[in-house]
């Protein structure tokens, strides 16, 4: 195992979240002039981020559903803390499955056990969207519309969760090219203005940038 000075572990709900946060980390590395490279791994998506002689181990664990996030503490203890005695920052990326659902429900039952399993982390941050990760993407409508080749004046569909709104938006462009989540959404995700999303999205993306600065020092 390479020597790292700190670790950042993302525990994400699904494939689209995994793509979104891996692309966001690449954006941060480019804009802040940090080096990023993939690290071989059998159980998760791993990267090494380096700057100023310091190295951060970035791990992204896609658990498949919001209910499985509550069970991811075992992975964190065994695959992160037990293997590398470094400060770990954990980001929990999930949606609340309802526009009106309070995040507090995710601090009960199995989620209490999750918090206990994550107690060895230096910091734990909830990146909880009000509905889908697509809701976060649609906080940058200009980039989404530009990627789809639609006029900037195009109305963004209203009502329902982000994924269904995104599907309706894609359908307005072409009946035969539907929106597809996961890795097939990577092109659109790469087209997003992440700096804009840091300001406008209803999740704490800015904290990720702050953690990188804490771990690696100021940008060059």
CB 138, CB 203: distance < 8 Å: no
Write the pLDDT tens digit of every residue in 99-135. 444 444 555 667 788 888 999 999 999 887 766 899 9
CB 98, CB 69: distance < 8 Å: no
Q: Give the mean model confidence (pLDDT) for residues 185-214.
A: 93
Q: Which of 207, 186, 191 is nearest to 17 (CA)?
A: 186
Write the pLDDT tens digit of every residue in 37-55. 988 766 678 999 999 899 9
Write the pLDDT tens digit of every residue in 67-103. 788 889 999 999 999 999 999 999 998 877 544 444 4
> 125: which DSSP letter?
E
Predicted TM-score (pTM) of this structure: 0.87
Question: Which CATH number is associated with domain 6-133+198-216?
Answer: 3.40.50
Q: Which of 197, 143, 138 is nearest to 168 (CA)?
A: 138
Q: Which pLDDT belongs to residue 187?
A: 94
Q: Where in the chain is the domain with CATH 3.40.50?
A: 6-133+198-216
Q: Which pLDDT belongs to residue 106?
A: 57
Q: Name 149's bridge partners.
A: none
With tokens 């203005």, the residue in question is 193
Helix, strand or coil, per DSSP, at residue 171? helix
Q: Which pLDDT belongs to residue 67?
A: 77
């Amino acid at each position: 195992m390479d020597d790292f000075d700190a670790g950042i572990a993302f525990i994400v709900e699904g494939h689209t979240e995994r793509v979104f946060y891996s692309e966001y980390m690449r954006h941060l590395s480019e804009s802040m002039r940090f080096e990023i490279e993939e690290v071989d791994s059998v159980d998760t998506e791993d990267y090494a981020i380096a700057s100023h002689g310091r190295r951060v181990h970035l791990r992204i664990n896609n658990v498949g559903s919001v209910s499985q996030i509550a069970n991811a503490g075992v992975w964190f203890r065994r695959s992160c803390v037990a293997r590398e005695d470094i400060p770990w920052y954990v980001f929990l990326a999930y949606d609340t499955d309802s526009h009106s659902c309070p995040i507090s429900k995710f601090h009960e039952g199995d989620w209490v056990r999750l918090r206990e399993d994550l107690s060895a982390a230096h910091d734990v941050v909830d990146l909880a969207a009000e509905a889908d990760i697509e809701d976060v993407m649609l906080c940058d409508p200009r980039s989404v519309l530009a990627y789809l080749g639609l006029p900037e004046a195009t109305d963004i569909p209203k009502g329902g969760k982000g994924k269904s709104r995104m599907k309706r938006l894609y359908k307005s462009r072409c009946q035969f090219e539907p929106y597809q989540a996961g890795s097939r959404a990577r092109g659109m995700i790469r087209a997003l203005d992440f700096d804009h999303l840091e300001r406008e999205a209803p999740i704490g993306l800015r904290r990720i940038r702050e953690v990188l600065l804490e771990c690696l020092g100021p940008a060059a």
